[in-house]
Structure 1
């Protein structure tokens, strides 16, 4: 089962795609355009995004450019859904970072197979990298265990890679190689991104003070939390919370 975000402005098609993916046992969230999709991302970390190109407010090209610039989302693969079939349009999408196209109208069987192939490849790739890094038969539960340890030690600002290696019963070098090869980023960046995602949820869903959120998410100081959050999201934690409170109050 994969987590998939469907970004499509046609309500009927959006619902049909969602239904088909759910029948394939995937977890699905939807959005009618790129702007609304960005509001979903802090609460839903998809393995794959299916995105229309021609949409109001923020079209598919603008959306993929935005996610490729964002430290938390730039590694998520994107498949474009489009009625635009000109070769130049396809080349532009691929240049922006899309991994594939589905031309409308498409068969849902084709959609299912493409999603299956991409998400299965991601799992197989992880297992291959784990096997190369550890020299042992990889365990499918690695990612789950790693996430559980991050959550367990969320408030610990001293969650070093050495400590995590001990938690994972892996050597330091094996853990570093595994994370680097699979995610293409350092352990420090991954932990920081995880903490920022949790902080985003706290800002929107709770009335915790900024200091409480900084403490709960393992930031060593409020100033470091504020700096890191603004660097990643373009807004200070306070401005981000105010922005979403205003949107929530709109009819």
Structure 2
């Protein structure tokens, strides 16, 4: 079932179209001109609009121009209903954003086929978009998980390079660099340095190992480099960091 808005100034035709759509299990809203239809959109947002062209107050062309200016309604597909239409008028309607025409008089079967084809196409498109989103999110999760696993395995290796990371993840260097910028907004060197410093903070709090042992265990080539890097990142020396956390009663 879908929501269809019928905009038609001829009352009997409007009622007939609405009845046929309701018998086909669609929810129907109706208006007698474009101005009335615009006012209705805030309370009845349709999946499809069927709209006459020649109407009082606001005709179909004015109406479609109005909805195409709206962020909320511009994506709603619209089919024009018309008794007489020249090729020039038809092209104008298509240029304004209509997706099709139904020429009066039309068969009810033709109406229902066009309505249902468009609605089913919209549903298929939505499903396709959702599937792409899920697949993209799954790929995002897999990359981050795999990258984090490799960091955990290799952070202690002071000579571990981005080329080795790319090889471990079975991807090209350019692809890895592009993904790091996308997901972390930083380069490999900065990311692995931050990871090593986080691991060092854990060791400082949770163990009584020496600073030299922690520096080596976390992939820093020297104690002095570790100490300066830690202080730069945390505005406190590793020794003071340990003392402060011990004084706060955290495990050592």
Number of equivalences: 136
Tell me what 1:10 maps to: 10
Tell me what 1:37 maps to: 37
Deviations 1:219-242 (A, max 9, x none): xxxxxxxxxxxxxxxxxxxxxxxx
Shift of 1:106: 0.4
Q: Of the two structures, which has the highest relative contact order with CA contacts closer than 8 Å and spacing of 6 or more?
A: 1
Tell me what 2:28 maps to: 28
Deviations 1:77-128 (A, max 9, x none): 1000001221111100000000000000000100000000000011111111
Secondary structure, in 3 states, of the residue corresponding to 1:43? coil
Find the aligned partners of 1:124 and 1:69 in 2 and give their Cα distance: 26
Q: Which runs of 4+ in 1 moved over 2 A?
A: none
Tell me what 1:73 maps to: 73
Find the aligned partners of 1:111 and 1:98 in 2 and give their Cα distance: 16
What's the TM-score, normalizing by structure 2? 0.53
Secondary structure, in 3 states, of the residue corresponding to 2:80? strand
Tell me what 1:96 maps to: 96
Shift of 1:70: 1.2
Shift of 1:135: 2.1
Find the aligned partners of 2:133 and 2:109 in 1 and give their Cα distance: 36
Find the aligned partners of 1:84 and 1:68 in 2 and give their Cα distance: 24
Deviations 1:5-31 (A, max 9, x none): 000000000000000000000000000
Written as runs of structure 1 = structure 2, the 5 A alignment for 1:1-251 is 1-135=1-135
Find the aligned partners of 1:85 and 1:110 in 2 and give their Cα distance: 18
Unaligned 5+ runs, structure 2: 137-252
Shift of 1:3: 0.3
Find the aligned partners of 2:42 and 2:132 in 1 and give their Cα distance: 32
Secondary structure, in 3 states, of the residue corresponding to 1:6? strand
Instruction: Report which of the two structures shows the higher radius of gyration computed on alpha carbons.
Output: 2
Deviations 1:43-76 (A, max 9, x none): 0110000000000000000000000001211111
Unaligned 5+ runs, structure 1: 137-251
Find the aligned partners of 1:13 and 1:54 in 2 and give their Cα distance: 14
